[in-house]
Structure 1
Amino acid sequence: MFVDHLQLVDFRSYDGVDVPLGPGVTTFVGANGQGKTNLVEAVEYLSALGSHRVASDAPLVRAGAELAILRARVQAGLDDQRTVQLEIQITPGKANRARLNRSPLPRARELIGLLRTVVFSPEDLAVVKGDPSERRRFIDTLVISRWPRMAGVKSDYDRVLRQRNTLLKSLAGRSAGGRRSDVIAEAATTLDVWDSHLAQAGAALLRARLRTLADLQPLAGKAYAEIAPTNNVIGAEYQTAISGPESQGALPELEDLQRALQDRLTERRADEIQRGVSLAGPHRDDILLTIGDLPARGYASHGESWSLALALRLGSFALLRSDGIEPVLVLDDVFAELDATRRDRLAGQITDAEQVLITAAVPEDVPEQLAGRRYQVAAGAVTEVGTDD
C-alpha cells in the first residue's frame, strides 16, 4: 500500500497544504523547524491515531486553530488500483472524528489497519535507552499494526486499569485510617470483578506481545547483523512478574495467561490496597534488549544503540511484510545520525519497499540508492524540486 495524496488543514505548522505522493522514495528536505517532519507525522497519525513525537493531541493543532484535519488517499498496491480516502479530525479535549471515503465512522479507531506504517526517528533511541514504558509502547504499536482489533483490547485494558486504580486509591485512603484487613475483606467482591476484567484484557495483550516478540527477534537480529559492523548478536527477552506458562518457551494459551494474571492480582491485593495502585499486569512489564552478553540499556554505545533501534524497526517492517502487509516506511531525520557505512547498509535493505518517506536537512544525507521524488520544505511551503537521478 502507499499514500498517493496528503492534505492537511491547521495541522502543526500548516494552515493548509496538499502534497501529491506515490510509490517509491519521496524525500522532504528542509532546515530544522520548517515542517518536514510534520508531513510524515500526519501519515503516521492516520495510520495509528498517534504520533511518535507527542503523547497528547493538543500540539498537533496549529496555534490559534480549534481543530486540525488530516486526509490521505491510499492505494492498495502497485498492482491493485483500489483506493480509499482516510480522514481524521483532531479537536483537543474532544473525541476525534473519522471518515472513510467521506462517510463518518462510529469510532475513530476504525481507521486503524487501513494504512500501515513503520516509523524510525531519533526518538527511537528511547526504546533502547529509555524507561520500560518506551519498550511497551514499541511492542504495542507493532501488535496493533499486525492485528488492528488489538487497538480495542488495549483501549479496554487501559480503561479497566484506570478504573481499578481509582478504586485502589480510595481504598488506600480508607486503610490508612482504619484496619487494613477490614478494608481488604470489604473490598474483595468489588476487586474480584475488576480483577476478572483486567485479567481478560491483559491476557490477550500479553499473549499478542509474546507472540510478536518471538516473531520479531530473528528478523531484528538479521537486520542488526546487516547494519552494524560487528559480530555481536542482539537479544530481546520479555520480562513479566506473572509466573507460569509464559516461562516455558512455547507460546502459552490465553486461558493459562488469564488464570496466571488473576492469581498474581490476588497475591498482590494487600500491597495494592496499601499503595493505591495496580502492581501486576502488562502495564508493568518490560523487554530486556541485549547486545552480546550485556544489556543494551546502560552498556551500548551511541552507535550500537542507534543500530539496535534501527534493527528493531527494520525487523518490524520485515515482520509486517511476512504477514502479507506492505507498510509505508518512514525514515524521519535518520541518516544524519548514521555514519556512511550504516547509511549504505540501511539503504540496501529498503530499496524494494513499496513506499519510503524520508526527511533530511540536506539532500546529501540521503544515500544515492534512495533517489526519487524530492520536495523542498521551507516556511510552511512544500515545493516539488524534481526527481533525483
Structure 2
Amino acid sequence: MHVTHLSLRNFRNYRSAELDLHPGIQVFEGANGQGKTNLVEAIAYLGTLKSHRVSSDAALVRFGEEGGIVRAELRHGERELSIDVEIAKSGSNKPRVRGHAVKTRELARFFTTVVFAPEDLSLVRGDPSQRRELLDQLLITHSPRFGETISKYERVLRQRNSLLKTARQQRLGAEQLTTLDIWDDQLVDLGTRIVAQRLALVDRLRPHLARAYATLVDADHGASISMRVSALADTGRPMDGDGEGEEIGAVLTVDDIAERFRTRLTDARPRELDRGVTLVGPHRDDATFWLNGLPARITASHGESWSFALALKLAAAQLIREESKTGDPVLILDDVFAELDGARRSRLANAVHDFEQVLITCAVVTDLPEALRHDTIRIEAGTIVSGGVDA
C-alpha cells in the first residue's frame, strides 16, 4: 500500500496543499517549524485518527478555522481507493472511505502506517499506557474488531469504577454490592480476550524485535519483550508501581487466563473497596523491554533506548507486512536520522529500503545516507517548494 496523492485544507499551517507521492523513499526537507512533519502527520492520522504529536485534534486545525480536511488517494497493486476525514475543532470527526462513512476502527482495514518519531523514546522509558496503546493498535491493525473489544472493556471499567467509588464514599460492604458481580463477569470476559491477544501478539513480535535491534546495532544484544499481567499475578509481587503482575512468557489458554483473572479479582476486592478503583485487569498491565537480560527502562543508555524504540517500530512494520491484507504499511521516519551515528544511519537505510513506501523528514538532508537523498521535497513556511502544488 502506498499514498499517491495527499490533499490538505486548513490542516496545521497549511491553508491548502496538494502533493503527489510515489512508491519508494521520499524525503521532506525543511528547517524546524516549516511544516514538513505536518505532512507526514496528516498521512499517519488517516490510519487511526490519532496524531503522534498531540492528544487533542483541535491543534490539527489551522489557527482561526473551525475545521480541516485531510484526504489521500491510495493504491495497493491494481486497487485504488480514497480516504478522507473532516477534522472538527470541537465535536466528532467524520472519516470516509470511497466517500462512505466508516467507523474509526475500520480504517485499519484499508490503510496502515508505522511512525517513528522522537516522541517514541518514551515507549522505553515512559508510562505503561503508551506501551499498551502500541500493542493494542497493532492488534486493531490485524483485527479491526479488537477495537470494539477495547471500547467495551473501557465502558465496563468506567461503570465498575463508578460503583466502587460510590461504595467507598457510602462505606458499603461487599455483601451490599451484588451488582458488582455482574460487572466482574463482564470485566473478566472482555479482559480475558484482551490479555490473550496481547500475549499472542508479544510472542509474534518478539523475534522481529530481536532481529531489528541486531540489524540496527550490528550485534546480538538480546533485545526482547514480555508482558506483565495483573490478572495472572502471584499475590504480592510488585509490578513497577503500576499494580501487581508477573512476567508471562508462553501464551496460556483462554480458560486459564479467565480462571486466574477471576481469582485475582476476588482477592483484590477488599483493596478495591478501600481505594474505590479497579486494581486488576489489562488496564493495569505493561510490556517489559529487555536488553541483554536486563530491563531496558532502567539500564539502557539514551542511545540504546533510541535504538530499541526504533527497532520496536521496525518490528511492528515487519509484523504488519506479514499479516496485513493491504501489504506493507507506509513507513514514516520523522526526524530520526539526526539522532543516529553514521553506521546506524546506514543500517537503518538498509533496513527500510525495500518497504513499498518510506516517508522521511529531516532538517538537513546531509543527515541522511547518500542513497536516500535522490528524491527530496523541500518545505518552507508551510509551502511545498518542490514536489507538489501549493494553493
TM-score, structure 1 as length reference: 0.91
1:288-367 alignment runs, 5 A limit: 288-324=288-324, 325-367=327-369
Matched position secondary structure for 2:230: coil
Matched position secondary structure for 2:54: coil
Instruction: Determine the C-alpha separation between the residues in 1 that align with 2:309 and 2:65.
Output: 35
> Residue 384 of structure 1 corresponds to which residue in structure 2?
386
Instruction: Report how far residue 229 of structure 1 moved.
Output: 4.3
Residues 277 and 248 of structure 1, relative CA distance in 2, 3 Å threshold: closer
Q: Which moved more, 1:260-269 or 1:349-358?
A: 260-269
Runs of 4+ residues over 4 Å off in structure 1 = 244-249
Alpha-carbon contact 2:26-2:375 (below 8 Å) kept: yes
- Structure 1 residue runs without a partner (length 5+): none
> Residue 93 of structure 2 corresponds to which residue in structure 1?
96
Quote the sequence identity (%).
45
1:1-389 alignment runs, 5 A limit: 1-76=1-76, 80-105=77-102, 107-175=103-171, 180-181=172-173, 184-187=174-177, 189-243=178-232, 249-324=249-324, 325-384=327-386
Alpha-carbon contact 1:24-1:372 (below 8 Å) kept: no
Instruction: Determine the C-alpha separation between the residues in 1 that align with 2:165 and 2:189.
Output: 22
Residues 108 and 224 of structure 1, relative CA distance in 2, 3 Å threshold: closer
Instruction: Determine the C-alpha separation between the residues in 2 that align with 1:262 and 1:39.
Output: 47
Alpha-carbon contact 2:229-2:248 (below 8 Å) kept: no
Instruction: Determine the C-alpha separation between the residues in 2 that align with 1:126 and 1:108.
Output: 25
Q: Which moved more, 1:81-90 or 1:354-363?
A: 81-90
Residues 92 and 276 of structure 1, relative CA distance in 2, 3 Å threshold: farther
> Residue 242 of structure 2 corresponds to which residue in structure 1?
none
Q: Which moved more, 1:123-132 or 1:230-239?
A: 230-239
Q: 1:103-142 deviations in whole A, cap 9, x for unaligned?
A: 233x333223210111111111101111211211221222
Alpha-carbon contact 1:97-1:104 (below 8 Å) kept: yes
Matched position secondary structure for 1:22: coil
- Structure 2 residue runs without a partner (length 5+): 235-245
* RMSD (CA atoms): 2.0
Alpha-carbon contact 1:49-1:112 (below 8 Å) kept: no
Q: 1:202-254 deviations in whole A, cap 9, x for unaligned?
A: 22211111111111111110111111144421121210122279977542233
Instruction: Report how far residue 93 of structure 1 moved.
Output: 3.6
Instruction: Determine the C-alpha separation between the residues in 2 that align with 1:205 and 1:118.
Output: 22
TM-score, structure 2 as length reference: 0.91
